[in-house]
Structure 1
Amino acid sequence: MSTPRLGERLQAIRKRRGLTQRELAQLSGVSISLLRKLEQGEREDTRVETLRKLAMALRITTAELILRPEPEDEAPVDGDQWAPVRDALLGRRMPEPDEEPTIGGVKSALRAGVPLSTENRYADLGAAIPSLLRDADALGPDGRLVQARAYHLAGLLMVQTRQFDAADMALARAVDSAPDRLEAAAAINTRCWLLIRQGRLRETLDLAATWADDIEPKLSRATLAELATWGGLLVRVSAAAVRNNQPGEADDALRLAYAAGAAMGREYASPSDYARTFGPLKVAMMRAENAMVADRPDRVLAIAERIPERVFRPQSPSRKRHRLDVANAHVSLKRYTDAVDVLQELRSSAPEWIVNQRLARDILAKVISRRRTLTSEMRDLADFVSLEY
């Protein structure tokens, strides 16, 4: 069965809410003429901010109105669900709605899209990104901050889903659009993560260290955003250095990151770096990650025991990555059941995230290779993450 079109979905939800078109127009601030065109199928596309106004009036999420095709409706011949995002990044033409976007409206739409990333709802975010980029670009020079953050959000999605070329395009646009160095540095932080995932360690070291040196603040009067951005780049330096067999450089970077975290005194989520928090606990989790790279699983688990779980949401990228290190440590210590329990926990809390994590497959592959017999739970998990065994 094909997916109901925008007008059909809008009309059905409006009627379930017991609203007339005129009442919905008044509640949402959307003109009744546009509402009629949408419901009658004369218009199949509109600005994201318009959809958000309608969604708020209807008490639903914007994602429920954004078209998300079923497999048989997908436009790309090869069934590639990320093709529309890549097309948007390449500037391929999309229908231009009649209404003009506003900076405030696109900002609101952007804020509504951020939870789709932090909650690992990648398919929903992928459906929203093309229109969001189109509307952000239409703002012109006055909308540089919104443009930078929209492209940064697209870059995060593409890194998470291993669409690395598209991620590179999106993050380059985020840096180019950034109105200041701090905003650009947030996108550079994500680009460093992209380079690490590609194994480009020397490039990561050079890029992260250069930008960390450039924006290094004075600790005594730095803002939380400055400390978090600087500390985040130092964490990237440490992650790349320990993987590049440069433990001294990794430790030096982490000591500076610890100083930034201590000056902050708490975890801080930067509005320009959606997927990440930074603070003392982030540094502790990086120590655990470095310990795992150095083959010190006992140290990983000792550090993990001192990190309070209640501080981070289950969907937090930092926490999820840390839990993979914990699972990996359990495997190294031959605690296979404990490792599988952690992977199942991640599957339950972040199913779209774990299927895109090569480390999760590698950990499970180790478990399977070291077990004479597999439980049904292990087989089911292997099938879920597409691991051949």
Structure 2
Amino acid sequence: MSSLAENVRNYRRQLGLSQEQLADAADLSVGTVRKLEQGGSSSIETLHELARALGTTTSSLFATEAPSPVHMDSSDGPRLAELRRALMPPVGLTQPITEPTQIVPLSTIRANIDDSHARYHADRYDSVAKKLPGILRATETAVALSGDAAAREEAITARASAFLLAGKYLTQVRRYDMAYYALSSGIRDARDAGQIQLAATGIVGMGWLLLRQDRFDEAEQLAATTAQEVEPRMSSASPAQLAVWGELHLRVASAARRNNRPDVAKEARRMAAQAASGLDREHIDFRAHWTTFGPVTAETKVIEDLSLAGDARGVLSRADDGPVGAKGLKRLGRPSANNWDRHRLDVARAHALLGSHQDAMDELCAVKDTSAEWLRHQSMARHVMRDILKHRKRTLTKDMREMASHLGVTG
């Protein structure tokens, strides 16, 4: 029996609950509880509901056995092989054994990093993967050949930015071990160069990676500690300082909410809203913070909390109003494509939960029209599509067939 199954059963017995009583308290079927206690798998949403019913954190229920192997598409290996070599070269007794590269001016390296950020947010992931090896090697050369202390600090800062870009890309495409190496290397470089704002930006990315791995306790603690360390003076803070501080609180809230700590999440959302209120509109500067941040981004994350709680009506009541409504977007600006698309997936899920499967399908199609590659990497999109297929009584429409194929969902 898995540790997850044992943990659920032990918590249930400590509370003196039968499987039927636990199922009722968590608003789940008895079959779901029984299957889980027999060693079956479960969605993270189901674990949230069980943790709430058992009065514990979601993390405490997780199994500790080795995860199933990741099955990579055959095209992923060759595409990432060069990036892996550039990111993690063999290390000898004296120095890393890297491929020789020509000297590239730091101004050109920074421009290439900015261009790759733009490609990333345009969902041009293959293009980012192709450019990153050259950028990483160029920064290694710049550090190795830097002369005085000032030049070395500048080169290390550029290398830190390159590492963080690699970490962002690799987290998005779910290559988590490589992403961890890139992000931790970038954070260390930024710290060594005295670039605290850049290091905090990397920690925002590390928080995202930990969330992706369901490491909620660590994500919350890391982001909360860092937010305390970089808390700005509100009267004199720059937009970038407010943004990274707000992003850290978003990570705290997301981790706490997923870990059945609603009071902590609520307070963190309040702090993020405070940071957002200091910005007139959405702010973006990839050299100084992780992604777009402002009043719209903060609101999408509040709606995300409602989605995680299964409050479909709550999601739909706020989905197109206030900061995220048409007037709000015009006045405040749009968040990053990733954050906006994630918000619309919450809307799609809410429609699916309420049985409005065509409305859910319309939301998926709208996201696919603008962010097709991003959508392929989203487990929530596959979950919504499976729900649509499960409840579809008539012949599938062309859009449904194409979406199922795009997401790799077979029914």
**TM-superposition CA deviations, 1:210-266 (whole Å, max 9, x none):** 111111112111111111000000011111111111111110000111111112222
- Equivalent of 2:400, from 343, 362, 378? 378
- Equivalent of 2:245, from 230, 242, 245? 230
CA distance in 2 between partners of 1:129 and 1:154 (Å): 7
Q: Secondary structure at the match of 1:269?
A: coil
For residue 338 of structure 2, what is the aligned residue in structure 1? 317
Cα distance, 1:315 vs. partner? 6.5
For residue 262 of structure 2, what is the aligned residue in structure 1? 247
For residue 118 of structure 2, what is the aligned residue in structure 1? 115
1:157 aligns with 2:179: no
Cα distance, 1:194 vs. partner? 1.0
Equivalent position amino acid for 1:308 in 2 = G
- Equivalent of 2:325, from 302, 308, 317? 308
For residue 203 of structure 2, what is the aligned residue in structure 1? 188
Cα distance, 1:104 vs. partner? 1.1
Q: Is the 8 Å Cα contact of residues 364 and 382 (structure 1) preserved in structure 2? A: yes
**TM-superposition CA deviations, 1:172-231 (whole Å, max 9, x none):** 111011132211111110111111111111111111111111111121111111110000
Q: Normalising by the residue count of structure 2, what TM-score does the alignment of the two structures yield?
A: 0.73
Q: Is the 8 Å Cα contact of residues 120 and 350 (structure 1) preserved in structure 2? A: yes
> Relative to structure 1, is the Cα distance of residues 231 and 324 closer, same or farther in structure 2, using a 3 angstrom cutoff?
same
| 1:51-200 superposed matches below 5 A | 79-92=77-90, 95-97=99-101, 99-140=102-143, 141=152, 142-178=154-190, 179=193, 180-200=195-215
For residue 373 of structure 2, what is the aligned residue in structure 1? 352
CA distance in 1 between partners of 2:82 and 2:345 (Å): 31
Q: Which moved more, 1:370-379 or 1:149-158?
A: 370-379
CA distance in 2 between partners of 1:250 and 1:330 (Å): 25
Equivalent position amino acid for 2:202 in 1 = A
Equivalent position amino acid for 1:286 in 2 = K
Equivalent position amino acid for 1:368 in 2 = L
> Relative to structure 1, is the Cα distance of residues 273 and 291 closer, same or farther in structure 2, using a 3 angstrom cutoff?
farther
| 1:29-68 superposed matches below 5 A | none
Q: Is the 8 Å Cα contact of residues 328 and 363 (structure 1) preserved in structure 2? A: yes
CA distance in 2 between partners of 1:354 and 1:377 (Å): 15
- Equivalent of 1:333, from 325, 347, 354? 354
Q: Which runs of 5+ in 2 are unaligned?
A: 1-73, 91-96, 144-151
Cα distance, 1:272 vs. partner? 2.5
Q: Normalising by the residue count of structure 1, what TM-score does the alignment of the two structures yield?
A: 0.77
Q: Secondary structure at the match of 1:277?
A: coil
For residue 261 of structure 1, what is the aligned residue in structure 2? 276
Cα distance, 1:274 vs. partner? 6.9
CA distance in 2 between partners of 1:245 and 1:78 (Å): 35
Q: Is the 8 Å Cα contact of residues 120 and 315 (structure 1) preserved in structure 2? A: no
For residue 63 of structure 2, what is the aligned residue in structure 1? none
> Relative to structure 1, is the Cα distance of residues 273 and 385 closer, same or farther in structure 2, using a 3 angstrom cutoff?
farther
Q: Which moved more, 1:80-89 or 1:236-245?
A: 80-89
Q: How many residues align structurally?
A: 313
> Relative to structure 1, is the Cα distance of residues 104 and 352 closer, same or farther in structure 2, using a 3 angstrom cutoff?
same
For residue 211 of structure 1, what is the aligned residue in structure 2? 226
Q: Which runs of 5+ in 1 are unaligned?
A: 1-75
Q: Is the 8 Å Cα contact of residues 240 and 288 (structure 2) preserved in structure 1? A: no
Q: Secondary structure at the match of 1:372?
A: coil
CA distance in 1 between partners of 2:334 and 2:124 (Å): 15
Q: Is the 8 Å Cα contact of residues 119 and 315 (structure 1) preserved in structure 2? A: no
**TM-superposition CA deviations, 1:130-150 (whole Å, max 9, x none):** 011000111112312211111
> Relative to structure 1, is the Cα distance of residues 387 and 274 closer, same or farther in structure 2, using a 3 angstrom cutoff?
farther
Q: Secondary structure at the match of 2:377?
A: coil
> Relative to structure 1, is the Cα distance of residues 105 and 202 closer, same or farther in structure 2, using a 3 angstrom cutoff?
same
Cα distance, 1:308 vs. partner? 3.4
CA distance in 1 between partners of 2:373 and 2:253 (Å): 28
CA distance in 1 between partners of 2:291 and 2:335 (Å): 13
> Relative to structure 1, is the Cα distance of residues 86 and 129 closer, same or farther in structure 2, using a 3 angstrom cutoff?
same
Cα distance, 1:78 vs. partner? 8.0
Q: Is the 8 Å Cα contact of residues 250 and 301 (structure 2) preserved in structure 1? A: yes
**TM-superposition CA deviations, 1:32-72 (whole Å, max 9, x none):** xxxxxxxxxxxxxxxxxxxxxxxxxxxxxxxxxxxxxxxxx
CA distance in 2 between partners of 1:119 and 1:126 (Å): 13
Q: Structure 1 residue runs of 4+, over 6 Å off?
A: none
